[in-house]
Amino acid sequence: MKVLKFGGKALKEGQALRNSLEIIREEKSKGAIAVVVSAVSDSTDLLLAAAKKARNGKDFSDELLDFIKNHQTQKNNEDLVKLFNELGEKLNLLQSGSDISEDEILAYGELCSTHFVVGELAKLKTLASAIDARDFIKVSNADNDPKVDIQLSKELSSTVFSTYDFSSIPIVTGFIASNGTSRTVTLGRNGSNYSAALVADFLNAEELQNWTTVDGIYTAEPGLVPDARLIDRMSFKEAQELANFGANILHPKTIEPLVEKGINLRILNTLNPTGKGTVVSSNGNGNKIKAVSVLKDVSLVTIEGNGLLHKVGIDARIFKTLGEHGISIRLVSQASSERGVGFVVDKEDGEKASELLSQEFSNELAKGSVSEIKLDTEMAILAIVGRHNYSLEKAIYGLRRNGIWMHLISNSISGEHISLVIDKSNLNKAVNIVHSHVFGAITTINVFCLGKGEVGSNLINQILATNDEIVKNRRLRIKVIGVADSQRYILDRSGVGEAWKEELAASKMVNNLDEIIEKIGELYLENIIIADNTSSQEVTDHYTSFLKAGFDIVASNKKLNSGAYVKYEEVRKLLKQKGRLFYYEANVGAGLPVIDTLKQLTDSAESITRIRGIFSGSLSYLFNTFSELDRPFTDILLEAKKKGLTEADPREDLSGLDVARKLIILSREVGLRTDLEDVKIENLIPDQLEQAEDFDSFVNQREILDNHYKARHKNLTEEKVLRYVGDMDVKDRKLKVSLVEVEKDSPLGNIKGSDSIFEVYTKDYGERPLVIQGAGAGGKVTARGVYSDIIRIGRAS
């Protein structure tokens, strides 16, 4: 014997209904079955609306007509027509002031549903009979939280089914029962699941199949967590916990009738009838986390006061006071000293609970031993269901790192769940974070890229090209969730693809950094990184906004780290306050590990005395080539620009400001409080060319530039070469960038192409500096440096 339960959506006219009927026929061909049904589609809501209108003396005909339309394919079914007429009469009586209960009206949803299914099966030449569960499911205390009288109901069901001929499929009403006076009573939200479990118990079924329009039970609500996974098996205990914490697919009481007899519950999808679904059984599939569930509407009540210290019985008074007024406490947490107690109730009970406890503790409040009774109504519970091992630590780490405060933490005695009480406004983000940390063997990093130039484009393409490799080797999944240029932006929770440039060009979303922050926040993602590959001051001015929103930052943009020290310091303080990360290796050495090396040296208390080197790959290429070859300087400059080694306007490189900014960044890394005016800069642009309007007019006067550098080259001896060098004397706080002559066989003289070199002198290294050398320019290597910073943040997440 199997019992099949079909929800309202599974009976809605269309593919779901056709599949449901075929499922019933197929299961019947295998053996005896009974079917329990909910009201069709949205019938219960329509009946509630009709009853409300009738009670208020208003016209309910639209709702009644829509209810009838839900059964359109059986509009000539005599049994249904009779029920429709009865319903109309009762609504008229209710409208005229008669004592008709809401439950009596709602019962017609399931009563009509049974006859509807019987009629549909008849079309397919399958015998079925409508069974009214009110004849055997009996409740006591019907006016106040009705309780099913299991023993009586079981005896009555035996009367109904003991002589029943199961060659005709019994189609049983879910949701409804009756009391001792045969008055109709409903079993509450999702009560049809409870009805089905009772029928399975009474018929000694081997399995209860719950046919819905979802594939089964997921590790989280898919509408909240897109990465939620289907659970194949779980235990009755775990299912009960999920039901208690708001899983819509289960009724809190559904599991109880199944446990004693070990009747398996299978959750299946009428729209995917071949799917395996979720099996709930006595054993499940071992002790491990099963799901992250939420209760969205709860209130938090806290009682605090120094006068409660060591005072026994505070919790007993709370439970007694609330229990006497029918208020159930969902969870409680208190300090061992009992100086503070916090507990959670349903949201609608919050105000009443606060008032009752204010009365109960009125003496303590008057004396000051209770300082306050505080009520927070906008709360939610996030529950981790299943044996959790280190899940609590993982969840707390993830929530704290993302700035989400936990008001209460409650761990069940059995270890079957952990409950975290948080602000309801943080719920969507919190459930995604906890789900990721609990279930995510792979950490997902979500990157929004600002800038689509040489560095920005290379970064995006590098991420897209190597993501599979990073997942395999690093257990990190990096998604580019958006891109912005100076005019527009795109945003996609699932990540952009290779056509991102075309999508950006076609986007209607205008670039607005405040809007971008808001829209990213609405995605409820964790591990969000802003990758700044612009040279925009406006973007760096928004760094504080990024950090306050809970984002980390990586940047090739040097404006913040080399800009006003006040702003630099403000961002550093905010990084500590918010626990965020800001990596900027590409600020100085493109992909070279310069910043990280300095941090390691300073962290180990090494005293750095001097930093000297060639910090610009662009200028390195210019003077490496110019010193070795007898070629006009302008030709080499244009060649470097064509290779992408310079800025769009190479005068920015020649001004020396880029090298000066890098020197400022390095000086701040070693603890100096410096600004750009502290650097003595040799401008490489001859005075006669300073006023050129643009680069074209600058190049048109190339003779001046070529002659200027020809003279410098003429003065070189064979052993010397020209190099544009940044130099910082830490002790004397002297910073300068200048074009100097160095020995050809020295480290600075030996570099080739567009390489950069950094000589780091320390107290322990003495006159033999630590040398960092390698490619110092180009979009690809700079992007690689930014990519490396993203991975570093990912590994720390």
Q: Which of 90, 237, 641, 662 is catalytic?
A: 662
Picking from 328, 523, 470, 502, the residue whose alpha carbon sits closest to that of residue 788 is 470
The residue written with tokens 């009974």 in the block is 34
Whether the CB-CB separation of 279 and 233 falls below 8 Å is answered with yes
Which residues are CB-neighbours of 608 under 8 A, at least 6 positions away? 598, 601, 602, 670, 730, 760, 761, 762
Whether the CB-CB separation of 13 and 149 falls below 8 Å is answered with no
Picking from 439, 440, 344, the residue whose alpha carbon sits closest to that of residue 384 is 439
What is d(CA 29, CA 20) in angstroms, rounded to the nearest whole number?
Answer: 14
Instruction: Kindly compute the dihedral angle of the four CA atoms of residues 638, 640, 643, 649, in this order, to the nearest 10 degrees.
Output: -70
Whether the CB-CB separation of 404 and 420 falls below 8 Å is answered with no
Tokens of 791: 């991975």
- 662: annotated active-site residue: yes
Residue 35, beta-bridge partner list: 4, 171
Tokens of 176: 């409804």
Tokens of 581: 């990360």
What is d(CA 739, CA 750) in angstroms, rounded to the nearest whole number?
Answer: 16
Q: How many residues are given for the chain?
A: 797
What is d(CA 362, CA 382) in angstroms, rounded to the nearest whole number?
Answer: 32
Return the H-helix or E-strand segment holding 383: strand 372-386
Residue 721, beta-bridge partner list: 742
Whether the CB-CB separation of 148 and 177 falls below 8 Å is answered with yes
Tokens of 272: 């995917």
Q: How far apart are the two ends of the chain, measured CA to CA in Å?
A: 51
Helices 657-669 and 594-603, axial angle in degrees (round to 10): 20
Pairing between strand 608-614 and 720-729? antiparallel
Where are any strands of DSSP class E within 399-442?
A: 408-411, 417-423
Q: How many CA atoms lie within 13 A of 588 on its CB side?
A: 30
The residue written with tokens 């099966």 in the block is 121
Return the H-helix or E-strand segment holding 374: strand 372-386
Residues labelled as active-site residues:
662
